[in-house]
Structure formats: C-alpha cells, structure tokens
C-alpha cells in the first residue's frame, strides 16, 4: 500500500524508516531495563554480527525494491526459491543434510504454494534481477538468525538491538544506487505519514516474531511456517468470507498443506528415532524456554539483575 497507493517510491528509504523505528522502540525498552542482556562479547565474533547486519539490509531492502518493480506473483516465485536455497546453503556452510523424504515433502509444498498464489508473472527486467539477487541474502539471513540464537545464546531482541545499527549503515549506502532522488519532496501529509509509520510498527512486530520463531525452530521450518500462513489466509478467506480464489488455487493450497503435514511428521519421526540425543534436545528446549522467558519478562527476581541491561 505504501509503495503503490501512497506513492512512496523509495523502497530502501522505507526500509531505513522501518529499522530506525525498530531501533527507537528497542531504545525505549533498554531505557526501562526491559531489553534482555547480550551474551558475553567474546562468545560471538564481531564478524558474525557484521555479516548478519549486512545480509539483513540486503534481504529486506531488496525485497521492497522487488515489490516496487514486480508483480506479486513474481515476488511469490522468488520467495518459493528461498526454500531450496536454504537447504543448499546449510549443506555448504554446516554440512547439514536433508533426507530424501523431506526433500520430496518440501517440493510438494513449494509446488502447491506456487499453484495457489502465483496468478501472474509480470516483471521488470531490473526488478527480476533484484528479485534473483534477493534470494541468497534472504536464505543466509534466516540461517544466521537461527544459528546465532540457538548456538550463541542470543535472544531475539538482544540480537536485533546489536545488528540494527549495522543494518542502518548498509541501507544508507544502498540508497543512492537503488532509490530515485527526491524523497524530501514527498508529500508528507498526515495520511501518508501515518501509513508509513504504521507499516514500520508492523515491520518491527514482524521482525520480532520472526526472530522468535527462528530461535525456536530452523531456517527451513521458518519458511514452511510462512507458506503455511499464506495457505491458511487463502483457504480461510474462501471458507469464512466467501472469497473465490479459483479451484486451481484451492487445490494448490490443499496440496501444500498436505506436504507440510508430511514434513512435520518426518521431523517428529526423526526426533523420536534419536533417543541418544535426548539430553541435548532437553538442553536445547531448556535454552529456548529460557530465552523466551527473557523476551516476555517472565524470569524470576533472582535473575533480573543479570538479564536486564
């Protein structure tokens, strides 16, 4: 709506506004000692934080540029391509293998979502290049978020607070190359400004909830969760509000949900077949529970001093 109806034709600057507001809201939390503490500085190399901040700017900035130039259908196709990219990247970076059955389930999910959501493939040549360039940073972004939270004991808010200034810096360097000139001459009336600020507030909530999900699951599961949301919206509109997306889209959404069910079943089955890893899984669960308690402020009084900045 902001890029189209409002006419705010500056996608990178819009992303900059989103992250600036996120940093401001987290600064308020920090001022009231509600922001969870970061792990010890020596536990996480600065290069990891720098890499995450850089890919965050590329992932979110290029996504908004893609939305400006391409149709929603082409944008959805690019999002679907993130799933195999994550599987490949995790194998290259961490030698993490996915079973053949899970690959088949993910393929069914991707095909189903494509049939359900891709109604047109109109695109601009420059926009298509941007969409293709966005796929890899988006996949790496999810992998780094999940890895740092699960392996380095970062909470979602603490990691967002640490990486946001780096993201803002890289967004500033991207503006001259990807945004047209003249954002200061935009009609900053109450209606337009309210829409932009509201999109920034929703962007903060989306980033926070997404980071929580990545800390509790994996990058691949996070993508499948997003595709599940898309199918639920489509089928929910059809069942509850009488919308008619078409028989093809409904069949595609049902096919995707079946693939997601198989993928979930295989994950549960593989966890049950590894009894020797039960202690590590329990430790991981305790770690995730501890991090969630920090996020929601449900920790006991004896730890308040160490968990708040």
Question: What is the residue-averaged pLDDT of the chain?
Answer: 84
* CA angle (167, 31, 206) in 5-degree steps: 45
36 phi and psi angles, rounded to 5 deg: -60, 150
pLDDT over 70 at 277, yes or no = no
The crossing angle, in degrees rounded to 10, of helices 219-241 and 247-272 is 140
Q: What is the DSSP letter of 217?
A: S
Domain locations along the chain? 1-36+43-178+208-271
Largest CA distance in the chain: 63
Name the pLDDT band for 207 (thresholds 50, 70, 90). Answer: very high
71 or 190, higher pLDDT: 190
CA distance 284 to 295: 17
283 or 176, higher pLDDT: 176
Residue 2: name the closest of 17, 23, 21 by CA.
Answer: 17
Which pLDDT score is estimated for 41? 62
Which pLDDT score is estimated for 70? 81
If you average pLDDT over residues 50-66, what whole number do you get?
93
Which pLDDT score is estimated for 218? 87
The DSSP bridge partners found for residue 308 are: 36
Residue identified by tokens 């259908």 is 73
CB 142 within 8 A of CB 224: no
CA distance 261 to 257: 6
If you average pLDDT over residues 251-269, what whole number do you get?
91
pTM of the model: 0.78
């Amino acid at each position: 709506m902001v890029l189209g109806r409002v006419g705010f034709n500056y996608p990178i600057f819009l992303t900059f506004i989103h992250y600036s507001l996120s940093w401001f809201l987290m600064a308020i939390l920090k001022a009231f000692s509600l922001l969870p503490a970061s792990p010890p500085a020596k536990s996480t190399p600065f290069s990891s934080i720098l890499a995450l901040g850089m890919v965050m700017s590329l992932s979110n900035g290029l996504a908004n540029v893609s939305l400006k130039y391409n149709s929603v259908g082409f944008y959805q196709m690019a999002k679907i391509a993130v799933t195999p990219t994550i599987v490949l990247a995790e194998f290259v970076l961490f030698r993490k293998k996915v079973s053949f059955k899970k690959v088949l389930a993910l393929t069914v999910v991707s095909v189903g979502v494509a049939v359900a959501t891709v109604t047109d493939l109109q695109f601009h040549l420059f926009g298509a290049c941007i969409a293709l360039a966005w796929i890899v940073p988006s996949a790496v972004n999810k992998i780094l978020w999940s890895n740092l939270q699960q392996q380095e004991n970062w909470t979602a808010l603490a990691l967002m607070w640490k990486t946001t200034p780096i993201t803002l810096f890289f967004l500033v360097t991207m503006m001259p190359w990807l945004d047209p000139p003249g954002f200061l001459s935009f009609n900053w009336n109450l209606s337009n400004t309210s829409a932009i600020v509201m999109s920034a507030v929703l962007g903060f909530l989306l980033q926070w909830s997404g980071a929580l999900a990545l800390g509790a699951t994996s990058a691949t599961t996070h993508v499948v969760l997003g595709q599940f949301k898309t199918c639920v919206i489509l089928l929910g509109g059809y069942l509850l509000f009488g919308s008619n997306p078409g028989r093809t889209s409904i069949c595609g959404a049902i096919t995707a949900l079946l693939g997601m069910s198989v993928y979930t079943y295989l994950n549960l089955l593989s966890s049950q077949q590894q009894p020797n890893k039960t202690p590590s899984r329990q430790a991981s669960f305790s770690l995730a529970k501890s991090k969630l308690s920090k996020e929601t402020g449900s920790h006991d009084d004896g730890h308040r001093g160490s968990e708040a900045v």
